């Protein structure tokens, strides 16, 4: 792994940790304290950080997911400002949030496989 990749991964981890702590301790919105940061990817030039999030207790409806991402985008400016001392970069990356459907999709696939298995067993 080259130095650039290590640096990018280190910065991504710092952003992930900071955002997770910030949502729990700094934001007064109880719904946002239930948000889990599942992944952070950073552009090669360190200008953009894509932050994947999911809800801790339930997958939520599409409307809840959309509202969650919109609320996080509204917080992005405050989050960037609070990240500046932690990252020690000339320019803090722009934060872009997206809902992580990976875990929910995995559960759905497992559910479908169980249904297929049940149907197969019943036909025997």
Q: How is residue 30 annotated by DSSP?
A: T
pLDDT at 23: 86
Looking at residue 83, its pLDDT comes to 92
User: How many other C-beta atoms are found inside a 10 Å radius of the C-beta of residue 73?
Assistant: 14
Q: Which domains does the chain have, with CATH numbers?
A: 3-123 (3.30.300.20)
pTM for this predicted structure: 0.75
Query: Which residues lie below 8 Å from residue 66, measured CB to CB, with a gap of 6+?
Result: 99
pLDDT the model gives residue 124: 61
pLDDT score, position 59: 66
78 CB-side CA count, 13 A: 10
pLDDT tens-digit series, residues 92-112: 999 999 988 765 556 566 667
Retrieve residue 86's tokens.
């932690």
Q: How far apart are CA 119 and CA 117, in angstroms?
A: 5
Structure tokens at 18: 């900071």
Is residue 57 over pLDDT 60?
A: yes
pLDDT digits (tens, 9 = 90+) for 23-36: 888 777 777 777 88
- Residue where the block lists tokens 């872009």: 96
| Average confidence score pLDDT of the chain | 83
Q: What percent of the chain has pLDDT over 90?
A: 35
Q: How far is Cα 16 from Cα 37, in angstroms, rounded to an integer?
A: 6
User: Angle at Cα 78 formed by Cα 76 and Cα 84, nearest 5°?
Assistant: 100
């Amino acid at each position: 792994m080259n130095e650039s990749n290590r640096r990018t991964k280190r910065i991504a981890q710092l952003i992930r940790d900071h955002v997770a702590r910030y949502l729990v301790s700094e934001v007064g919105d109880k719904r946002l304290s239930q948000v889990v940061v599942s992944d952070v990817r950073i552009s090669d030039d360190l200008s953009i950080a894509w932050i994947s999030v999911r809800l801790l207790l339930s997958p939520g409806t599409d409307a809840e997911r959309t509202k969650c991402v919109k609320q996080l985008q509204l917080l992005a400016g405050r989050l960037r400002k609070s990240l500046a001392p932690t990252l020690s970069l000339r320019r803090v990356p722009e934060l872009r949030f997206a809902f992580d459907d990976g875990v929910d999709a995995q559960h759905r696939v497992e559910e479908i496989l169980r249904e297929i298995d049940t149907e197969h067993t019943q036909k025997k």
